[in-house]
């Protein structure tokens, strides 16, 4: 038996790259998979059914169970259809892996409104909309006495954790995903749902223009997308029942827990501060605090 044998998993953005690796890894460990991909280009333009259908066919050819779905995850009705597709095809939904996204990189002084809106829409709303419909399904199941031991795995980024020069829209959306994951973990635990996020690094269409990610001629390929998927599969398993509200960095053979914002040094006067008093106060607080990690590309 595989680690997720018999579980039903939806993977968004699963036609290529990391999402494709997730879908194949879930199927290899026994899950029945809904392969979602709208088939858009790297910048989010266009739409083709081929990528999702090809991955679903690849899973079936290997003896697994999979169906393709091409709904837009950032469309409210499309996200609802995606969740319904899992229940219709396989009778339930146990795991939601949110991975879909694209880039429109610009320095802030050149970033256009539509480039901001498009990236935030697909990454952030594209996480919220499927999550919202899945949560409604899981709540209904719990109230009917059929609580699912369900899992959500969201996809943030190092850009969401630390920021990335030239990616203000992407960094903001990925940071928003971390906030959403924290709230979802706190709210959905009562229904038997855990929610975690990953910040992966791998060779994909989205990263090939940013980093030198050429595959090695031989030996371990540290930037292969397949390196990310084992953790994502484990987080979707029954073994991960006690893990929720956490963020993991994962790349190559490395898995790390990311420490997010937390309360730091403080001074309480017991009354309102005067503006002129605060210079030395802030200086003392910063001297006692840990310095922030540098922004990527700074």
Active site members:
157, 170, 174
Other beta carbons within 10 Å of 179? 15
Backbone φ and ψ for 33, nearest 5 degrees, come out as: -120, 135
- Strand arrangement, sheet containing 65-69: 65-69, 32-36, 8-11, 95-97, 150-155, 193-200, 247-251, 254-257
Strand partners, 248: 198, 257
How far apart are the C-alpha atoms of 50 and 116, rounded to whole Å?
27
Helix (H, G, I), strand (E, B) or coil at 18: helix
What ranges in 144-217 are assigned the alpha helix state H?
Answer: 158-162, 168-188
CA distances from 185 to 63, 188, 232 (A): 34, 6, 16
Residue 129 and residue 76 in contact, taking contact as beta carbons nearer than 8 Å: yes
Backbone φ and ψ for 79, nearest 5 degrees, come out as: -65, -40
Spatial neighbors of 248 by CB under 8 A, at least 6 apart, are 196, 197, 198, 199, 231, 235, 255, 256, 257, 258
């Amino acid at each position: 038996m595989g680690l997720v044998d018999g579980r039903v998993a939806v993977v968004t953005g699963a036609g290529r790259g990391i999402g494709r690796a997730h879908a194949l890894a879930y199927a290899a460990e026994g899950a029945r998979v809904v392969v979602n991909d709208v088939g858009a280009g790297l910048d989010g333009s266009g739409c083709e059914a081929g990528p999702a259908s090809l991955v679903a066919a690849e899973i079936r050819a290997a003896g697994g169970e999979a169906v393709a779905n091409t709904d837009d995850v950032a469309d409210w009705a499309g996200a609802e259809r995606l969740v319904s597709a899992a229940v219709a095809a396989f009778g339930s939904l146990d795991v939601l892996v949110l991975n879909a996204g694209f880039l429109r990189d610009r320095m802030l002084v050149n970033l256009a409104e539509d480039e901001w809106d498009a990236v935030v829409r697909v990454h952030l709303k594209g996480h919220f909309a499927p999550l919202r419909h899945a949560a409604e399904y899981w709540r209904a199941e719990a109230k009917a006495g059929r609580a699912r031991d369900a899992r959500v795995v969201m996809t943030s980024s190092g850009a969401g954790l630390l920021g990335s020069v030239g990616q203000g829209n992407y960094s903001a959306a990925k940071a928003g995903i971390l906030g959403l994951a924290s709230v979802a973990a706190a709210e959905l635990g009562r229904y038997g749902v855990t929610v975690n996020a990953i910040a992966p690094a791998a060779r994909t269409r989205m990263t090939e223009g940013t980093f030198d990610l050429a595959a090695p001629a031989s030996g371990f390929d540290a930037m292969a997308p397949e390196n990310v998927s084992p953790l994502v599969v484990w987080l979707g398993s029954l073994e991960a029942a006690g893990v929720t509200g956490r963020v993991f960095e994962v790349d190559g053979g490395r898995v790390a827990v990311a420490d997010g914002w937390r309360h730091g040094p403080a001074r309480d006067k017991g009354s309102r501060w005067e503006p002129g008093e605060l210079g030395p106060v802030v200086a003392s607080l910063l001297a006692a605090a840990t310095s922030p990690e540098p922004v990527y590309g700074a």
